[in-house]
């Protein structure tokens, strides 16, 4: 019997945790020539996100202002560098349920609204250090 595949459409963005958002934005925009699309603040998580557009993909530079918040810690926002890959999906709820049945742990506080739509973060069964995000663009 063939296993049903998830409704993954594409990699939407890469999330990178940075210490200083302004310095990182300068390096990416002036140094690499990548276009800054917007800066978004998510107050309840004390997060500032610089969204850079590179072709059809984005890079999100993430500056967490309080490394001691529980959500910051579980999302590994206190560790600088590449943080997660975000997959855009067709059927958000079904994909979320499917991941859970396959052993992916849904992080508490998700799903919720993100920069581009509804998001959920997971810890995959093979690695406690890895984070995977799914996104339903609204």
What is the reported pTM? 0.92
- Spell out the domains of the chain, with CATH numbers in brackets: 8-137 (3.10.180.10)
Separation of alpha carbons 45 and 57, rounded Å: 24
What's the mean per-residue pLDDT of the chain?
A: 94
Separation of alpha carbons 77 and 67, rounded Å: 7
Q: Where are the alpha helices (DSSP H) in 49-114?
A: 70-74, 92-101
Average pLDDT for 122-129? 96
Tell me what pLDDT residue 1 has: 37
7 pLDDT band (50/70/90 cuts)?
confident
Q: How many CB atoms lie within 10 A of CB 64?
A: 25
């Amino acid at each position: 019997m063939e296993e049903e595949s998830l409704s993954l459409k594409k990699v939407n963005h890469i999330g990178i945790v940075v210490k200083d958002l302004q310095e990182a934005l300068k390096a990416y925009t002036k140094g690499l020539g990548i276009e800054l699309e917007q800066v978004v603040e998510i107050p309840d998580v004390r997060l500032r996100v610089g969204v850079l557009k590179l072709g059809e993909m984005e890079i999100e530079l993430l500056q967490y202002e309080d490394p001691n918040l529980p959500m910051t810690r579980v999302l590994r926002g206190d560790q600088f560098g590449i943080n997660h890959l975000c997959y855009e999906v067709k059927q958000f709820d079904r994909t979320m349920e499917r991941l859970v049945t396959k052993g992916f742990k849904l992080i508490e506080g998700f799903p919720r609204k993100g920069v581009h739509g509804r998001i959920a973060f997971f810890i995959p069964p093979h690695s406690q250090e890895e984070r995977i995000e799914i996104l339903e663009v609204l």
